[in-house]
């Protein structure tokens, strides 16, 4: 059964653990931004709406605040259902398009904050359990940022082509990216519709959408992907994330850059390989995610450890060797992927990674595409990059830093 922490203030793992640390990060950011003020918007009537139907019993899980220094779609523990939506902004004049973007961000802020607080006046979001367990993130694509001369990090840029890319432009890119995640698909479908309506009425044009899911896991348990592998183990801790995931001091301190890849996986081909082969392809045991050089899941894979015959314990083509931060002067990305299942032969990973500089993705992906033993089992089919805006504090709208 899914047992998320009762609220972002109550991480269920000690601060030293991965998800616990992220919950604390969320808590810290929310407190710094004034949870008190955010809670004001969750009025008594909001709380009453979150009581479940006939019994009047309180909903089992508290709402995740929308407001804060950083967007909860990056900082809160991952929720099991996700819906990614991309929009374009039809070009007119720079001045008019800047105004349209402002209006879209205001409309999204209103809709998403009300949905997260449980105050959106839509019967479909009331009376059920968990309808407010929702997180979101809003980002701006590099093409729009450059066309409208927006104040975004200088690192924000389209990705260059990587070997083996089979990218469908209709399923990737875009001017505005929105990722919604929720405890259940009902909330997600309704909020996606409301957010789309809000963005469209302010001038956004829907471009593509993609839904995904995760297994329900207890807090602190790394979810598996459809290859059956624990995915997200070696994510950076808070201190490391401040250096490599979030922006430098200045206007982008609480923003980050998302790299999204829709990666189709040949699941029957991989999952029917002998277990030993699957272990060496990744460099970790499939049963429990423990590195081939260690005894516990969360210890660092030692890519330099050798067998008595001089060969590496983690093979030269293993995924965790080629993606190791040791090959990138310690640079790290925060991976928060979901799986997707769009057809029997169209299943895979919605790879979502957050980093200060997307050049890191390109360096890692160039190594993986040419040498990773996992590569014959996967195909990158779509791609997007977006500047994930700093959070909006209560009474403010997303993206106020863009215009300075």
Residues making contact with ligand HEM (CB under 6 A): 225, 227, 229-234, 261, 263, 265, 282, 284, 289, 301, 319-320, 323-325, 333, 349, 351, 361, 364-365, 368, 378
C-beta closer to ligand HEM: residue 105 or 368: 368
Residue 249 CB-density burial (10 A; 0-12 exposed, 13-18 middle, 19+ buried): exposed
Nearest residue to 174 via CA among 386, 399, 393, 396: 386
- Beta partners for 384? 260
We find the least distance from the C-beta atom of residue 292 to ligand HEM, in angstroms, to be 11
C-beta closer to ligand HEM: residue 28 or 220: 220
Nearer to ligand HEM, 208 or 244 (CB): 244
Cβ 181 to ligand HEM shortest distance, Å: 18
Q: How does strand 256-265 pair with strand 346-355?
A: antiparallel
Helix (DSSP H) and strand (DSSP E) numbers for the chain: 12, 9
Reduce the DSSP state of residue 227 to 3 states and report it: coil
What lies within 8 Å, CB to CB, of 296 at 6+ separation is 290
Q: Which is nearer to ligand HEM, 182 or 333 (CB)?
A: 333
Nearer to ligand HEM, 148 or 263 (CB): 263
Burial label for 55, CB within 10 Å (0-12, 13-18, 19+), is exposed
Measured from the CB atom, is 11 or 232 closer to ligand HEM? 232
In DSSP notation, 91-133 reads ---HHHHHHHHHHHHHHHHHHHHHHHHT----GGGSSSTTTT-
**C-alpha to C-alpha distance for 9 and 30, rounded to whole angstroms:** 9
To the nearest whole angstrom, how small is the minimum distance from the Cβ of residue 377 to ligand HEM? Answer: 8
CB of 269 to ligand HEM, least distance (A): 13
Based on CB atoms, which residue is closest to ligand HEM, 49 or 324? 324
Q: At a CB cut-off of 8 Å and minimum separation 6, what does 180 contact?
A: 73, 82, 83, 84, 85, 112, 134, 135, 136, 188, 191, 192, 195
What is the nearest approach in angstroms of ligand HEM to the Cβ of residue 143? 22
Measured in Å, how far apart are the chain's first and last C-alpha atoms? 47
DSSP state string for 130-191: TTT-EEEEEEE-HHHHHHTT----TT--PPPP-TT----GGGS--SEEEEEEESSHHHHHHH
CB of 203 to ligand HEM, least distance (A): 33
CB of 235 to ligand HEM, least distance (A): 7
Pairing of strands 134-140, 256-265: unpaired
Residues β-bridged to residue 206: 87
Closest CB to ligand HEM among residues 248, 376: 376
Q: How far is the CB of 117 from ligand HEM (least distance, A)?
A: 33
> In the complex with ligand HEM, which residue's Cβ is closer, 138 or 378?
378
Distance CA 22, CA 336 (A): 11
Q: Report the nearest approach of ligand HEM to the CB of residue 364 (Å).
A: 4
For residue 234, what is the DSSP state?
T
> In terms of CB distance, is 142 or 301 closer to ligand HEM?
301
């Amino acid at each position: 059964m899914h047992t998320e922490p009762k609220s972002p203030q109550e991480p269920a793992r000690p601060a030293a653990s991965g998800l616990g640390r992220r919950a604390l990060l969320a808590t810290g950011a929310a407190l710094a931004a004034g949870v008190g003020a955010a809670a004001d918007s969750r009025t008594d009537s909001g709380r009453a709406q979150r009581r479940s139907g006939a019994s009047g019993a309180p909903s089992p899980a508290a709402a995740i605040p929308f407001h804060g220094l950083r967007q909860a779609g990056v900082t809160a523990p991952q929720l099991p259902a996700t819906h990614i939506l991309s929009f374009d902004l039809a070009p007119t004049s720079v001045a008019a398009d800047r105004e349209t973007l402002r209006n879209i961000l205001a409309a999204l802020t209103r809709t998403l904050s009300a949905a997260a607080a449980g105050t959106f006046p839509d019967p479909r979001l009331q009376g059920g359990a968990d309808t407010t367990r929702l997180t979101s993130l809003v980002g701006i694509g590099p093409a729009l940022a450059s066309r409208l001369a927006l104040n975004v990090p200088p690192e924000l840029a389209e990705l260059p082509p990587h070997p083996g890319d089979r990218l469908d432009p209709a399923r990737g890119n875009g001017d505005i990216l929105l990722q919604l995640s929720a405890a259940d698909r009902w909330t997600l479908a309704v909020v996606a519709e409301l957010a789309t309506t809000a963005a469209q009425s302010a001038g956004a044009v829907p471009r593509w959408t993609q839904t995904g899911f995760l297994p329900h896991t207890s807090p602190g348990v790394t979810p598996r992907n459809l290859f059956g592998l624990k995915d997200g183990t070696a994510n950076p801790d808070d201190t490391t994330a401040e250096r490599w995931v979030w922006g430098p001091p200045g206007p982008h301190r609480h923003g980050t850059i998302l790299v999204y890849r829709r990666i189709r996986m040949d699941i029957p081909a991989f999952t029917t390989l002998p277990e030993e082969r699957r272990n060496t392809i990744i460099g970790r045991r499939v049963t429990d995610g423990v590195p081939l050089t260690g005894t516990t899941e969360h210890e660092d894979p030692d890519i330099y450890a050798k067998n008595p015959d001089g060969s590496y314990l983690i093979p030269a083509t293993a995924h965790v060797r080629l993606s190791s931060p040791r090959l990138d002067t310690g640079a790290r990305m925060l991976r928060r992927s979901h799986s997707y299942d769009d057809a029997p032969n169209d299943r895979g990973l919605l790879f979502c990674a957050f980093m200060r500089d997307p050049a890191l993705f390109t360096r890692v992906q160039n190594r993986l595409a040419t040498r990773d033993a996992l590569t014959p089992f996967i195909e990158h089919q779509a791609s997007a990059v977006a500047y994930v805006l700093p959070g909006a504090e209560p009474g403010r709208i997303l993206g106020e830093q863009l215009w300075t």
